[in-house]
Structure 1
Amino acid sequence: DIDANGIVHVSARDKGTGKEQQIVIQSSGGLSKDEIENMVRNAEQYAAQDKVKKDRVEAVNQAEGIIHDTESKMDEFKDQLPSDECDKLREQITSVRDLLAKKDDSDPEEIRKATGNLQQASLKLFEMAYKKMAAERDSGSKSESSSESSESSENKDEKDEKKN
């Protein structure tokens, strides 16, 4: 049998004599209590540094995702966006990228703040694009309906002439 600690218990019985022998096999490569305590102390000692590093990595990942989304939307809506506003947004993207380039020295909160500012600016810009597209769509549908109504009135005139 093997127990939960990885220790093997083996027993054998001689059927002729009825004698039984037992042997226990355990690994000699296990860690001593001192080694385990040392590992626990090291883990506790570096926990704060690990948390800061984790926060920094999460902030960098979020920033890279927002930069990617912003750039892809800028390409998608480039016809509806004012070029001067796009240039401002590109400058913000560049400044966030510069901050990310020195990510080992950057404060995660500083990265989050710059990313939040970039996200707010991009949301405002894309809101303008959506409003412009909606206005174009509305004006396009109005002109279509007015041209349809003029065509229908012309058709009525032609029908009236045919009757006479």
Structure 2
Amino acid sequence: MLNMIISDRIFILVRARAIQNQCFLVAAAQVASQNRKRQSYGYCLVVDRWGRVLLYMNLYSPLVRTIDIDLRYIEQVREKIPFIHHRRHDLYTLMSPTTIIVPIDDKNEEKIDVVVSPFRYVERFSQLNPEEINDLFQSTQLIRRKIEEYYQAKSLTISYTRSTTYWTNC
């Protein structure tokens, strides 16, 4: 009975996350007997963006299965329902497309130069999308906190430059 409850709950959670994030979701679980009181039964699912179960395995022994996933399907769905553009940027951030480079000038301990750059090269700041701007801001805040903690910094200057030197030297 307990296994049925766990299975039903996993189905609901995995399907909900796939629908919520408009993506394929793979939920893989181990098949194992840890001890007399604990055994894992390997409920494995592959779910599409609409919550449809494409592959389900309720196993009692190890098994490998494969499934073909058409990633173009996700792009088609996201064009029809562009949910990511409707997210509140003050609540959801990417925190990934920003490259953080920390060159420190050892000759001058009072000055620390930190370059925070968007991952995607753009000619103008205004060409960044809201997620990238928010990510840039969040990354800058994180660096500010770390510099203040580590170096006991009393002031911080943030400036913006259009220099392409960084991009051409990479």
TM-score (norm 1): 0.25
Structure with the higher helix share, 1 or 2: 1
Structure with the higher strand share, 1 or 2: 2
If asked which structure has higher relative contact order (CA below 8 Å, sep 6+), I would say 1
TM-score (norm 2): 0.24
